[in-house]
Amino acid sequence: MSAVLEADGLQTYYGKSHILHGVSLKVNQGELIALLGRNGAGKTTTMRSVMGLTPPRGGNIKLFGKDVTKAASHRIANAGVGYVPEGRKIFGHMTVHENLLVPPETKGPWTIETIYKLFPRLEERKTSKGGRLSGGEQEMLAIARALLLNPKFLILDEPSQGLAPVIVQEVMRTIGRMKGEGMSILLVEQNAHLALQLADRAYVLSDGEVVYDGSAAELGADTERMEHLAGVSHAG
């Protein structure tokens, strides 16, 4: 199996605060990897490091076998990485359609037309301002925007955040469908149970270090361990 992402020993800082202390993780072709951990464990920082938004000061990152540790963010995206940021980051003052015109046109199955077929709701609301959409619609729009790059690798940072359970199910179905089509996915989730249902393997972060690296099913079955590591209980 060829690796899509290999991050090795990431040391990432925000100003003077040292957030990641040597995080290493790997995503293989076609895998769905869950990245779990409590609030402030460094999950988003790991994603931002990979995307070149907060470049690490130590360690290195390879995407599709090429070193991108110091690469600009748009180069990483254009290499075939779709990023759905935490909080969705919709351009609220622009229409749905304008939001979809931000990423460059790329060769591949995803165009604005095919996106509207996948998410008919977005087509219905194409002239609405992004800020007027419901949380679920915004999440769809954020995923749609990332898919327009025709990525080979999708990074989703807390897609279920703030969504009603029914909508969460819909988002997860969409993610499952992408995996079914052979997409490699890195899924960051607070909702560990949800993520582990879909994931092949999981990493758990705590205080900027990897404290679990192994099978998703095994971790999902070991309630006590999961509660201890990721701070989640079955109720979540």
Partner 1 sequence: MLYSAFNGLVVGIFYALMALGLSLILGLNGVINFAHGTFMALGGYLAFTLEPYIGFWGGLVVAPLLAVVVGLAVERFLIRPLYGRDPLFSLLLTFGLAMIMQDVIRTIWGSIGQPFALPNYLNSPLSSSMFFLTGFRLVVIAITVLVTGALFAVLRYSRIGIRIRAGNADLETISSLGVNIFFLRAANFGIGIFLAGVAGILAAGQLGLSPTIGDSLIMPAFVAIIVGGVGSLMGSVLGGLIIGIASGLTAAFFPVAQEVVIYVIMAVVLVIRPRGLLGQEGLFE
Nearest residue (CB) to partner 1, 146 versus 202: 146
Q: How far is the CB of 141 from partner 1 (least distance, A)?
A: 12
Residue closer to partner 1 by CB (options 145, 201) is 145
Instruction: Examine residue 53 and tell whether it contacts partner 1 (CB under 8 A).
Output: yes
When asked if residue 89 is in the footprint of partner 1 (CB under 8 A), the reply is: yes
Per-residue tokens: 158: 């807390």
- What is the pattern of x (binds partner 1, CB under 8 A) and - over residues 69-88? ---xxx-xxx----x-x---
Cα separation of 215 and 117, whole Å? 35
Among the residue ranges 13-21, 48-56, 167-175, 211-219, the one whose residues contact partner 1 (CB under 8 A):
48-56
Considering only residues 169 to 208 of the shown chain, the ones binding partner 1 according to CB under 8 A are: none
Binding part of the chain for partner 1, among 9-17, 103-111, 195-203, 213-221 by CB under 8 A, reads 103-111
Binding partner 1 (rule: CB under 8 A), the pick from 98, 123, 218, 227 is 98
Residues binding partner 1 (CB under 8 A): 51-53, 72-74, 76-78, 83, 85, 89, 91-94, 98-99, 101-104, 106, 145-146, 149
